[in-house]
């Protein structure tokens, strides 16, 4: 038995409904894929996948005249607030990818998502501490070196 579940694009807020089976449990909707998850397109058999890869607005024109049951995906035309830090206020639908990840289990335990492996270096090799005196002997020298 299937039912419609609504998701929104984290980039622009466009709302999409996906017809899916009841037993699938959502983990998250993110603007990037989770490391180690395999994603299927909404038109594929995604029930056996670990998630669904959406392209915001893709297929909206084709679904407009489609009969019920032709596609598990439908764009509602609704838009909610989204917090895209890269492009705030981007037009909707934006055409960017986003990902629905299902809960995964290995050896009877839920698999946690691994954080992105991209690290950012801020400022390079700058000073190792604040500027200022370098210790008790760093003050001005008086007569005789004291």
- pLDDT above 60 (res 63): no
Distance (Å, whole) CA 17 – CA 145: 79
Q: Which of 74-83, 96-105, 108-117, 125-134 has the lowest mean pLDDT?
A: 125-134
Mean pLDDT of the 28-39 span: 90
Distance (Å, whole) CA 129 – CA 127: 5
More confident residue, 37 or 143: 37
Distance (Å, whole) CA 1 – CA 10: 28
Please say whether the beta carbons of 71 and 58 come within 8 A.
no
Q: Which of 7-16, 36-45, 63-72 has the lowest mean pLDDT?
A: 63-72
More confident residue, 112 or 134: 112
Please say whether the beta carbons of 50 and 106 come within 8 A.
no
More confident residue, 135 or 94: 94
pLDDT at 85: 66
- pLDDT above 80 (res 112): yes
């Amino acid at each position: 038995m299937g039912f419609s579940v609504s998701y929104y694009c984290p980039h622009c807020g466009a709302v999409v409904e996906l017809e899916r089976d009841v037993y699938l449990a959502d983990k998250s909707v993110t603007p990037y894929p989770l490391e180690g998850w395999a994603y299927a397109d909404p038109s594929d058999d995604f029930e056996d996948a670990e998630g669904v890869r959406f392209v915001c607005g893709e297929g909206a024109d084709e679904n407009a005249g489609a009969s019920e049951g032709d596609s598990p995906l439908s764009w509602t035309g609704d838009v909610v607030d989204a917090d895209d830090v890269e492009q705030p206020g981007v037009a909707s639908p934006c055409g960017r990818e986003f990902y629905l990840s299902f809960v995964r289990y290995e050896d009877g335990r839920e698999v946690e998502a691994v954080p992105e492996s991209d690290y950012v270096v801020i400022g390079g090799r700058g000073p190792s501490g604040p500027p200022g005196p370098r210790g008790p002997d760093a003050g001005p020298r008086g007569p005789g070196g004291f």
